[in-house]
Structure 1
Amino acid sequence: MKTAQISQNQLLLFFILYFYSTLVGFSAGHLIYISQYDTILVLCISGLAAGIYAYFVVKLANRRPNEFFFHYGKEIFPHWIHILFMGFYFLFFLHTSAFVLREYEDFIVQTYLGETPNWAVGGMLGMVVAITARSGIQTLFRTAQGLFFLILIADVSNTIFIGKELKWDRWMAFVTNHSGHGIFAGTYLTIPFFGEVMVLVFIFPYLTQKGKTLKTTSWAIVLGILLITVNFIFLLLLFGPNLTSHITYPMLEMVRYIRIADFIENLDPFLISIWSTTVYLKISLLFYLSVHILAQFLRLKDHRPLTFSLAAVMVALSLQMSGGTAALTNFYTKSWATYSYFIEGIPLLYLLMDTIKRFIKKRSANKAH
């Protein structure tokens, strides 16, 4: 079967934006609340753990590089167990895309469009996501490739403009202020963000130069953490951990500080609109994977007939997440990490089972000789 081709360069740029999107936009305040000045150390530890996890994910995908996970998984686990796991993944991708969409809806409505209902914002973005998914995964990665440098320039410009407002005397706190509990709790919460490299097992047949995938993913983790770390350092130096942790969207306030400092008026809508594209990219990939899995369940050769109907389900699901920002934050802080560890651990079970089966088969072959 002929598949679309995604270059290693496109994969690198996409993953950098994928990691950057929600961690910086929606989770910065809470992560800094937990880890304070240890946030930078937490990011480094989480990146290291994600790199180790990526090694095992790529190892599994490389064993059948041209087959889709949905198809070859039943050769590893009994068919009914594999179908159950794929059902988990379908729900996980659909739920996570709806969750991120709801976060974005709340952000836009609370910040810029106070009189606009959530369904209007969700419906518009959902339509764009559906069109992107219908166009295919290659379109999504090409879009990320085209937008990457624009997003990078906007982020670098932001840090340059805000530089003179930083309180540099806080630097020593990064060296002296440490908490074992803060490091552990922050790391536990952050690893799943980078652990979403598990999507590689679903998109591996689309990749070119598959032998370079682990190297590309490792660089994406390193560069993504570098980009995120710069923003977190600036937040801590500008506002300090206490104020940052009490701001719902600290990155937005940092961008607005540029206007307050009289560098340029009304810069935040421009920069936020650029950042919004990273959220769109993340939602689009998660949604595409849910559509892809559903198409495999229904044994369809083409996923496109499902995109708009499933997009409507995604938008409806996002609107039904009750309680607004407070409830979303509670789910994120209390349940999301453990939920993600369970889902992200499934490929490791496949790798372990496949390794055991290969060992037994090899041992039996040796005895036969």
Structure 2
Amino acid sequence: MEQKKISSLQLFYVIVGFEVGNTVIFALGVGANRDAWLSIVVGMLCGLVLMFVYTKLSAYYPGDTLIQMIPKIIGKYLGFPINLIYIFYFVFLCSSACRNFGELIIGTILTKTPIVVVIGSFMVLVIYCLRGGVEAFGRMGEVVFPVYMFAIVLVWVLLLSVEQFNMNNLTPVGGNGVKPIVKEAFPHTIVTFGETIIILMFFPFLNNKQHARKIGMAVIMLGGILLIVNTIMIMSVLGPEIYSKVNFPLLSATRQVSIADFLERFDALIILLMVAGVFFKVGGWTYGAAVGIAQIFNVKDHRSILISIGTIIIPLAILHASSDVEHFLEVGRKFLNMYFHMLTQIIFPVLLLFIAFIRKKFNLENSSV
């Protein structure tokens, strides 16, 4: 397994980019209507709790990834199927992010290009980067993240110029009560922050592990603030009705920008955001899956696994939904959020932390399970 290291700042860039990623262009918190931003606040607070769980697990097993620590906590016989679930989770989420990317690209700039070509080309780029190891991924994060931040801030500034921009679209705050906010936060917005469980696949390669918790908490805070501001900006332009009916609300809002009837059609900025965001998302999931598979089957170099993962992800991205509507509603909100995310992001980690605590408390590290 590689001995390369990633700096604290590089890991921060990569995981913030991973957390926010392509989420900024979607209707996050849509079930809470005009209080969508409040559901993100609730999700962020819960995300801080989850990050505490993740970093505490890492503190118990500082040299291990999630895949390595699971057998140490619950034994190799129970750990093996749990590890397989996590590998499938990483691969499936990677294919889902690729599908999102493909849908946006063929719906905007490459309308006559087969989606398999778009997704395949992007996966080749990601795998080429990841074959350089975690250091290469971290350095790419240093380059891509500032571009990503510049693009999103520029989009927000442009949205301020839209004639329909009106923050009254957010009022009355909490007008529908607390229930829709909490119902949307559990499970739909919390999973955005829970996906940062991927950070457990990077912590062993961090050059200063003492900063792990600070990085994790800072990731949740900055990512949450970015998503809250983004939702407020979109809602102020589109209003809650349109926000809830379009697949890519940030794209729809940006198309309203018209400066002096000359500067219009800033779709390219949204494409830039999507490409940068999906790079972090797909890169993180693919790296986690490759390292995990290498550790389960004792493969010395995970880079040899990357091409195989790519050949699985591309057809899976196309086959797991027949249309973009089915992908967003059936696969995303109804299946992933309700079942898969809850199991892998909350239930398993909390149980693992509890068992790990008992093992450390009663010095059971050498006992068999």
How far the C-alpha of 1:125 sits from its partner, in A, is: 0.8
Matching of residues 316-327 of structure 1 within 5 Å: 316-327=315-326
Q: Cα offset for 1:132? A: 1.9
Match of 2:67 in 1: 70
So what's the TM-score if we normalise by structure 2?
A: 0.91
Letter in 1 for 2:256: Y
| Preserved contact between residue 18 and residue 284 of structure 2 (Cα < 8 Å) | no
Q: What are the residue-to-residue correspondences of 1:1-369 with 2, within 5 Å?
A: 3-28=3-28, 31-32=29-30, 34-165=31-162, 166-168=164-166, 170=168, 173-175=171-173, 177-188=175-186, 189-259=188-258, 262=261, 264-329=263-328, 330-337=330-337, 338-344=339-345, 345-361=347-363
RMSD: 2.0
Q: Which ranges of 4 or more aligned residues in structure 1 deviate by more than 6 Å?
A: none
Q: Secondary structure at the match of 1:19?
A: helix
Q: Report deviation, 1:241.
A: 0.3
Counterpart of 2:367 in structure 1 is: none
> Which structure 1 segments of 5+ residues have no match?
363-369
Moved more, 202-211 or 120-129: 202-211
Contact 1:134 1:304 survives alignment (8 Å):
yes
Matched-pair contact (CA < 8 Å) for 2:2–2:301? no
Separation of aligned partners in 1, 2:167 and 2:250: 21
Indicate if the aligned counterparts of 1:102 and 1:321 stay in contact, CA closer than 8 A.
no
Contact 1:129 1:311 in 2 (8 A): no
Greater helix share, 1 or 2?
Answer: 1
Partners in 2 of 1:164 and 1:126 — Cα distance?
36
Q: Is the 8 A contact 1:161 1:263 kept in 2?
A: no
TM-score where L is the length of structure 1 = 0.91
Percent of aligned pairs with the same amino acid: 22
Aligned residues: 359
8 Å CA contact retained: 1:105, 1:118: yes
The answer to whether the Cα contact below 8 Å between 1:244 and 1:250 also exists between their aligned partners in 2 is: yes
Deviations 1:106-164 (A, max 9, x none): 11112222211111111101111221221212212221221222221221122112213
Note the residue ranges of structure 2 that are not aligned, 5 or more in a row: 365-369
**8 Å CA contact retained: 1:76, 1:350:** yes
Is contact 1:47–1:222 with CA below 8 Å preserved after alignment?
yes
Q: Distance in 2 between matches of 1:98 and 1:328?
A: 11
Contact 1:5/1:138, CA 8 A, preserved across alignment = yes
Q: Distance in 2 between matches of 1:246 and 1:172?
A: 17
- 2:95 and 2:334 map into 1 onto residues whose CA distance is 18
Give the distance between the partners of 1:73 and 1:357, measured in 2 at CA.
Answer: 13
Structure 1 residue 294 displacement after superposition: 1.5
Question: In the aligned structure 2, how far is the partner of 1:190 from the partner of 1:20?
Answer: 12
Q: Which letter does structure 2 place at the counterpart of 1:352? A: F
Quickly say closer, same or farther: Cα 1:144–1:263, change in 2 above 3 A: farther
After TM superposition, give the deviation of residue 261 of structure 1 in Å.
6.4
What displacement does 1:259 show? 4.2
Equivalent residue of 1:177, what SS? coil
Q: Tell me by how many angstroms 1:88 deviates.
A: 0.5
